[in-house]
């Protein structure tokens, strides 16, 4: 396959004997990404989920060229919704079927709502610090992160479900920590994917930054805090009880209470 | 606004070399008003109701009134510092800095709104937490705005006149603190005790005297 983006190395290594500067060698993952192929316009929006795992290079190129952003956005939205619905049901399953349904409805709101809340700051700070994403690219980047994280939580769901059904009184703290671990790993995967897309695009377009690495790192911390607060506000997710308490409190107090 | 955020140098070069200063100033003002109103509304959501509406109105007023009070001094200072600018150009640079500040605050406003809406009320701990969060966001927004002010002054002058920039920041900060005092409460110190806003209460006292009194009280507690 020929490179859709002409190869222009951003950084050069030491000059060779002839005095010319050879291009920096591409890491193995970039060579893999160069070979990735995926056609977004073929039917089946759920295929976006597969592309996020198997054809990240093509997704990055499509993101750069803003190819079919609406289809990508819809695909990511569906993947995120399905994955978080399933994982939410498992979170609530420890407290019975009623709470399982409630949590299944709430978790997509937490994940996508936090993305929407953090999107303006993501876009403005990317622009301020020298990245050049359009608003559509920034929104799609956020959705890609949510979808990638969704894939990981969906993959972890059977294991977490297994632990949920074998829980006994007084050991809920273990489940809380397990959920926190899964969510952090999932978001970590999402941010890793975005960071690689940033590096991939940077190699081919040295003067065009799609995302700013430092903003990504800081933003993900803010995203996690906002998601924790959203979850606390929309809670309870794990306790048996009503659908929505609407209790005004900081997420830390809810977290400490859950651990107790 | 997107162009100002992404290509500030090009924007300043185009806007300050003639063009349509009034139109550009109006656009900058509109962007600033929207951002500031969103930030004000997010602050006011902690108390809710009429307070939300009032803070959404007060925040753009705060920025605009402070600039109106400081503008003459800022322009004179720029001229004294060797920046040969017309008043319209000074206004455009000042507005661009404020617009960027307001836009950054506006970008943070959904996050603040979530935390303000969820914070218990009345609670001093919530008030202090929100206050710290607002201060941190304000500092980030202020830095972004100051960076754009520096770029604007560089476009006018050729290089950044540091003394002028420092003077502008000092003047705006000094007056802004008192303006914020007059327009208080912001986050929720009203809590329905003294009504949502009272101009006569706002005009009593002074920010700097108030800070001095708090410091004095702390020192008396420690000694």
Instruction: Say how far apart CA A154 and CA A50 lie, in whole Å.
Output: 13
The beta-carbon contacts of A23-32 under 8 Å, at least 24 apart in sequence, are A26/A203, A29/A196, A30/A57, A30/A199, A30/A200, A30/A203, A32/A57
B209: exposed, middle or buried (C-beta count within 10 Å: 0-12, 13-18, 19+)?
Answer: exposed
DSSP A11: S
Tell me the two tokens of residue A180: 């926190």
Gap from B142 CA to chain A (nearest CA, Å): 13
- The encoded tokens of residue B17 equal 């070399």
Give a yes or no: residue A250 inside a domain.
yes
Domain that holds residue A155: 40-259
Residue A7 lies in a domain: no
A182 inside domain:
yes
Q: Do B129 and A232 touch (CB under 8 A)?
A: no
Chain B residues touching A125 at Cβ < 8 A: 104, 107
How far apart are alpha carbons A60 and A200 in whole angstroms? Answer: 8
Domain count within chain A: 1
Tokens, residue B156: 């006018």
Output the six-digit token pair for B131.
């206050």
Domain ranges in chain B are 2-222
Asked if A34 and A105 touch (Cβ cutoff 8 Å), the reply is: no
3-state secondary structure of A12: strand
Q: Which residues of B touch A120 (CB under 8 A)?
A: 106-110
In this complex, do B118 and A249 lie within 8 Å of one another by their Cβ atoms? yes
Does residue A59 form part of some domain? Answer: yes
Chain A partners of B2 at a C-beta cutoff of 8 Å? Answer: 127, 135
**Whole-complex ipTM:** 0.77
pLDDT digits (tens, 9 = 90+) for A190-249: 989 998 998 888 887 777 778 888 888 889 999 999 999 998 888 788 777 777 777 788
Q: Within a domain: residue A26?
A: no
Least confident range from A39-43, A81-85, A209-213: namely A209-213
CB contact under 8 A, B111 and A118: yes
A89-131 residue pLDDT tens:
999 888 888 888 999 999 999 999 999 999 999 999 988 888 8
A226/B contact by beta carbon, under 8 A? yes
Does A127 sit within 8 Å of B109, measured CB to CB? no
The whole-number pLDDT of residue B171 equals: 93
Q: Is B128 on the interface with A (CB under 8 A)?
A: no
- Cα distance between residue A248 and residue A254, in whole Å: 10
Dump pLDDT digits (tens) for B27-39.
Answer: 778 889 999 999 9
Q: Is residue A35 one of the residues assigned to a domain?
A: no
Assess whether the previous peptide bond of B53 is cis (omega < 30° from 0): no
For residue A23, give the 3-state DSSP assignment.
strand
């Amino acid at each position: 396959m020929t490179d859709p983006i002409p190869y222009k190395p951003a950084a050069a290594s030491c000059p060779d004997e002839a005095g010319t500067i050879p291009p920096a060698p591409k890491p193995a993952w970039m060579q893999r990404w160069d070979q990735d192929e995926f056609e977004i316009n073929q039917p089946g929006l759920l295929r976006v989920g597969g592309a996020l795992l198997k054809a990240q290079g093509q997704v990055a190129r499509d993101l750069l060229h803003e190819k079919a952003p609406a289809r990508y956005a819809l695909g990511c939205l569906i993947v995120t919704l399905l994955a978080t619905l399933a994982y939410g049901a498992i979170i609530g399953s420890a407290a019975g079927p009623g709470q399982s349904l409630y949590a299944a409805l709430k978790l997509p709101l937490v994940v996508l709502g936090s993305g929407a809340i953090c999107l303006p700051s993501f876009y403005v700070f990317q622009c301020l610090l020298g990245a050049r994403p359009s608003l559509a690219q920034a929104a799609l980047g956020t959705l890609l992160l949510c979808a990638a994280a969704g894939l990981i939580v969906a993959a972890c769901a059977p294991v977490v479900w297994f632990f949920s059904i074998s829980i006994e009184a007084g050991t809920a703290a273990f489940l809380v920590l397990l959920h926190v671990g899964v969510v952090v790993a999932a978001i970590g995967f999402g941010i890793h994917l975005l960071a690689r897309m940033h590096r991939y695009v940077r190699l081919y377009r040295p003067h065009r930054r799609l995302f700013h690495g430092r903003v990504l790192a800081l933003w993900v911390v803010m995203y996690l805090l906002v998601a924790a607060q959203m979850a606390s506000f929309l809670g309870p997710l794990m306790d048996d009880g009503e659908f929505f308490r609407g209790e005004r409190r900081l997420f830390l107090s809810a977290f400490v209470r859950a651990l107790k | 606004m997107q162009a100002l955020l992404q290509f500030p140098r090009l924007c300043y070069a185009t806007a300050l070399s003639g063009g349509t200063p009034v139109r550009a100033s109006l656009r900058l003002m509109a962007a600033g008003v929207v951002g500031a109103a969103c930030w004000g509304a997010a602050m006011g959501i902690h108390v809710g109701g009429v307070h939300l509406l009032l803070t959404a109105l007060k925040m753009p007023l705060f920025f605009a009134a402070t600039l109106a009070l400081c503008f003459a001094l800022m322009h004179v200072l720029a001229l004294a510092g060797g920046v040969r600018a017309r008043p319209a150009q000074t206004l455009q640079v000042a507005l661009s800095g404020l617009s960027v500040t307001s836009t950054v605050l506006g970008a943070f406003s959904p996050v603040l709104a979530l935390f303000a809406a969820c914070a218990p009320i009345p609670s001093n701990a919530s008030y202090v937490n929100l206050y710290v969060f607002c201060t941190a966001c304000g500092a980030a927004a202020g830095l972004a705005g100051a960076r754009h002010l520096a770029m604007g002054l560089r476009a006018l002058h050729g290089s950044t006149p540091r003394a002028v920039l420092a003077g502008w920041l000092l003047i705006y900060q000094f007056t802004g603190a008192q303006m914020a005092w007059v327009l208080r409460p912001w986050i929720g110190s009203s809590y329905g005790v003294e009504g949502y806003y009272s101009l006569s209460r706002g005009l009593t006292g002074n920010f700097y005297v108030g800070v001095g009194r708090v410091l004095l009280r702390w020192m008396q507690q420690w000694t």
